[in-house]
Structures are given as C-alpha cells and as structure tokens.
Amino acid sequence: MTWVRLFSTYARNKRTGIFVLALSVLGLHVNASAEGDKELLQAPLPSLSESNWQWSVPVGFEFQLSGAEANDSQGKPGTMLYPGGNGLIFLASVMTHALINSTANQVKEQSATRRANKIVAPYRELLSQLDLNSLMGDLTTAWPPLGETFLPSGNAKLKNDWLVEVRPAFVLAADARTISAHIWIAFWPSSGSDRPKALRQVQVMSTPIKAEVPESVWKQDEGKRLRATLVGLVAEGLEIGLADAFVDPALPQRSVPFTDGREDSIERGQFIKSDCGRVLLRNLRGWLMSLPARSNSNSQPMDEHCATTTQRLG
C-alpha cells in the first residue's frame, strides 16, 4: 500500500486515534533506531586478545557486487530523514514527501538500477563463480593472523568470549577503476545478547587501476586480480575496524582529499592519518574510511606494513 493510499484510508477511518498512535510509535522507532546505531558506532570496543575472539560471516549472507549507481543515493541531498516523536508531525512529513517525490523517486531509482546493472554486466560470468565463503577461505590463507581466528559459517560453535560478525558488500565504480568494500562489523558477546556491544562501519577503496581499459585488468587470468582485490579489501577493512583508531571527539571536521583514479575528490570528516599512499578518516556518519591519497599528498615513507597494504589493494 502506497503512502497516498494509506493517507486516503486514514481520512476515511474514524478510528484516527489508533492510527495516529501507530504512526507515533513508528516515528519513535525510526528515531530510536538511528540513535541506537549512532550509539553503537561510538561505543568502545571490547578488549580482544589473541585467544578470546573469533570472526565470521553470518549464515545466509551472500556475496554482492553492484554498480556504483545503486549505492550513491544514501545521504545525498533529497534523502529525507523523518522526524520521530509526534504522530501528526510524522504523518504530515511522510505525506508531504510522498506526494512530491514518490513518482520522481521511482523513476530515478529505476534509472539508477539500470545504470548499475550496466556497470557490472561485463563481469557477470566471473561474478557467478564467486561466493563469500570461498572468498573468506582465500582470506584466511593469504592473511594467516586473520585465518587463525576465522569461524566458518554454520560449521562450528563459538568457543571464545566474543564473536566479530562481518558483513561485506562491494561496489564497482562507474568507470570500473576502483572497487569499494562497505563492511559492517558487529561485536557480539558469547552470552547470547540480542544486541551487539559495539558496531563499526568501514569503507575501503582499492587503489585505482591506471590501464585505459580497466575491464581487461579485472578479467585477466580468469579474474585473478578481481578476486584478490575483493579479499584484500575485506582483510584491510577488518583490520581497520579492529584497530579502531581513536578519534578525539573535539577534533575539527575538515575536507580530506583523495583520488578515485580519474578525479581528485574530497570527503568531509575527521582526519586520522596518511600513510602508504592512503588517507584514513572518520566521516560525518561515523564510518572509518580508507581512500587512495592524491599523488601530491604528504604521507609516510613505505615500509613493510605499506607493502602488505599495497599487495592487498593493488
């Protein structure tokens, strides 16, 4: 049922008190959910040692790589966050937004989906051969420290105090020069809590491909570079999330420069560090982001750590 039809039903319904109460509860839920996520993103991480935690990908969580167009609407101008609390205010907000934007948004979303599908179309055959379990198997082999703490999905029971649940999703840029991993990391106690202790969201962008035709690089050797980059992005993102670089809340926001290979861009947030040809920051949503630095950015000399990062991300 669309919001317009819902409004008509509401106008005809004499039991308005019940309906407004339901909307008020929904509004409070939306507001509480957003506040809850913010609280978990800022919550301190549990103390993890070499022997008191394992990490895993949830059972049933599938591999997904989409075109950039399918993921770039969130947080941009025009995205509306409904106010919570008062049912009538919430109803008015929903109705106004629905009447003005419903049709236009549907057209835009359908168009964006078509463009996104077009971006990944050349890789359909390669992608059909990938699954998350096998990628995580590659990760545990390539990066032994992470392999030692890996808990295969559904194959064993948690034996330690903490389960670090990892949910990665991948985005191929419109020009196919970079792949970004968006990784949700939840820290669950073994006591069976219905709420994680803390949450981290990490975004890692691969080093841009310089070749004129990136598609040929990704497809070379039956997709070896593509597969290795996907694995490296998760490894890098997981280590960033676990390290959880401290950011002083009083640290001012600034525009942090980076490059996607074609254009120089900026991301607004709290700058953490610059090394290995990359910049690390916490953006305005509280996400930790690792992005390729501009070529003229000041960064520390390459070392063994940087060699690992370069190998992972290209």
- 8 lies in some domain: yes
- 121 lies in some domain: no
Q: pTM here?
A: 0.74
What's the length of the chain? 314
How many domains does the chain contain in total? 2
Task: Residue 153: count other Cβ atoms within 10 Å of its Cβ.
Answer: 15
**Mean pLDDT across the stretch 118-132?**
90
Same domain assignment for residues 97 and 181: no
Same domain assignment for residues 180 and 233: yes
Q: pLDDT tens, 245-285?
A: 667 778 889 999 998 877 888 999 999 988 888 999 999 98
Same domain assignment for residues 288 and 228: yes
- 125 lies in some domain: no
Same domain assignment for residues 83 and 148: no
Cα separation, 165 vs 184, in Å, equals 8
In the chain, pLDDT over 70 holds for what percent of residues? 69
Whole-number pLDDT of residue 160: 77
Please, are residues 198 and 181 in contact by the beta-carbon 8 Å criterion?
no
Comparing C-alpha atoms, which of 35, 31, 37 is closest to residue 185? 37
Q: Diameter of the chain by CA atoms? A: 71
Whole-number pLDDT of residue 93: 45
Comparing C-alpha atoms, which of 244, 248, 149 is closest to residue 198? 244
Whole-number pLDDT of residue 71: 44
Q: Which residue has the higher pLDDT, 229 or 101?
A: 229
Cα 243 to Cα 50, 62, 239, 290, distances in angstroms:
13, 26, 6, 13
Q: Which residue has the higher pLDDT, 47 or 28?
A: 47
How does residue 38 score in pLDDT terms, banded at 50, 70 and 90? confident
Whole-number pLDDT of residue 106: 67
